[in-house]
Structure 1
Amino acid sequence: MKSYSTIEDTIGVTPLVRLQRIPGEAGEQRGNVILAKLEGNNPAGSVKDRAASAMIRKAEERGDIKPGDTLIEATSGNTGIALAMMAAIRGYKMILIMPDNLSVERRAAMAAYGAQFILTPANQGGMEYARDLANTMQAEGKGKVLDQFANADNPAAHFETTGPELWQQTDGRISHFVSAMGTTGTIMGVAAYLRSQNPQIQIVGAQPAEGAQIPGIRKWPEAYQPSIYKPEQVDAFEAIGQAEAEDMARRLAAEEGIFGGISSAGALVAAMRVAGRVRNSTIVFIVCDRGDRYLSTGVFN
């Protein structure tokens, strides 16, 4: 009997594409190529599909969880959608805790996969509040917290998949890797892999400028800094403003045909700054999700 793939088997091996118009003088005239890794092509629509799959599968392999259990996670959106998908695939109940200022599209996607969600007041701590509540619920025996912020399976997913894909897709030519920083699993795992292949590769993280509130880009208070985050793995940080990220999201769709989210556009802002400083480089940035998750915010109007 022929064996067919499942939806989980389609996670990863996403396209890597060259930007044609936005780079302008920072591109070919300087010998630079700017490449976008299209993680919105994953089945639940974001780079977080990789970590969600790895965290659940590896927890099962260790005997930490089994189908039928209740899983709990604090999330700002994409991880929650990815975990909701994986819970549906593998037979778990999923409770997601998130700030109440997240876009309605992301909430609707989680509900479509059958997840329950608890909204926390954004003006009372938002994600920090959500993380504390998740741990409290676990202590009360209401479920198992996978904890993307401290779970080594999160960056390991990118060490094992995203990093090798970028190395192979660029034939080892990648010189700079640029990523938004939120949970930091993506940038940590990819950085570790790429550095194992070429220690000279530069790792650049996009963080929010003062006052910016860009979904998917965070700078955590010291007490809540993800334990998976190793600052020595990042060579440079770029502070991304709200307006420039939103403007770049519109440009990315209208000029390149890539409909990405706002944090993806923030990573491109950072990549463009890098391109303006270097020559003869291959610069890769992560398009971590799709823009249709942000239509209700008015960013694309």
Structure 2
Amino acid sequence: MNYPTIEDFVGNTPLVKLQRLSTDSSDTILVKLEGNNPAGSVKDRPAMSMIQRAEKRGHIKPGDTLIEATSGNTGIALAMAAAIKGYHMILIMPDNLSVERRSSMRAYGAELILVTREQGMEGARDLALEMQQKGKGKVLDQFSNLDNPQAHYESTGPEIWRDTHGKITHFVSAMGTTGTIMGTSRYLKEQNPDIQVVGVQPAEGASIPGIRRWPEEYLPKIFERSRVDREMDITQEEAEDTTRRLATEEGIFSGISSGGAVAAALKLSQEVENAVIVAIICDRGDRYLSTGVFPAE
């Protein structure tokens, strides 16, 4: 008998209806629980995709050293995928991100290199490319790797279309690498061009883990602005408050960028009627316990 392996359970995550946060609306707000993936986030999908497809092309092989700049979830997912596939994983991330994320990466056997908060993700990305140039490993580069959005085109988008029976009217996703929104938008708009795609970014001055307002020179190469109908700014307070409310009112223990996506979905719901809005819950809240977003006692 052939039994499934852990990678067989990446994807096909639950799509559930919000019951209490959206009671005053004629809309249906659904959230896709990507924290149910094996390594706990939406990034499991592109992590497996990037490694599997690079193997098929002959670009990498088990035993190689892989390098990636990450704000957290991609790093954890790649650390898991590297453990499954037999790679040495070097992850580069800013030192101000939560200790839970660092610990999770190390638990899978990854090597961590920290850059300063001031260097940020831009500095982490530059260092990854510099290390590759020096022959220290191969960069997967989630920011320009088309296998990132392709994973969502082949899985996230079809799952949402299937589970809403084609009734989705709006798709809401936080934007970091933009892989989720690019691939999902492409698939959904092929099914129905009228579906509205909303990208969520932090308001000026907000620091929301996992989503960014990229300087133009660091804008992910996979990003195509034409695939996003609207961008919504969410404040730090809105993202964190909605994250807490998801836990206490819906029983959904999520990360802060997920709170931002749902906050945007709730705002959108005030503008439209009889809509079916789908938002991505991209990870779990246990990665943020040390950040102070949840009550300690």
* Superposition pairs of residues 52-201 of structure 1, within 5 angstroms: 52-123=47-118, 125-201=119-195
- Partner Cα distance (1:71, 1:155) in 2: 20
Name which of 217, 223, 226 aligns with 1:232: 226
TM-score, normalization by structure 2:
0.99
Please tell me whether residue 248 in structure 1 is matched to residue 242 in structure 2. yes
Which amino acid counterpart does residue 221 of structure 1 have in structure 2?
P
1:42-72, Cα deviation, whole Å (9 max, x unpaired) = 0000000000000000000000000000000
Report deviation, 1:216: 1.0
Report deviation, 1:24: 2.5
Who is 1:5 aligned against? 4
1:110-152, Cα deviation, whole Å (9 max, x unpaired) = 00000001000012x2100000000000000000000000000
Number of corresponding residues: 295
- Partner Cα distance (1:159, 1:25) in 2: 33
In structure 1, the gaps of 5 or more residues are none
TM-score, normalization by structure 1:
0.98
- RMSD of aligned alpha carbons: 0.5
Please tell me whether residue 42 in structure 1 is matched to residue 37 in structure 2. yes
Who is 2:251 aligned against? 257
Which consecutive aligned stretches of 4+ in structure 1 deviate over 4 angstroms post-superposition? Answer: none
Which amino acid counterpart does residue 271 of structure 1 have in structure 2?
A
Report deviation, 1:9: 0.5
Which amino acid counterpart does residue 294 of structure 2 have in structure 1?
F
- Partner Cα distance (2:216, 2:80) in 1: 31
In structure 2, the gaps of 5 or more residues are none
Q: Identity rate of aligned residues, in percent?
A: 68
Report deviation, 1:217: 1.2
Report deviation, 1:11: 0.2
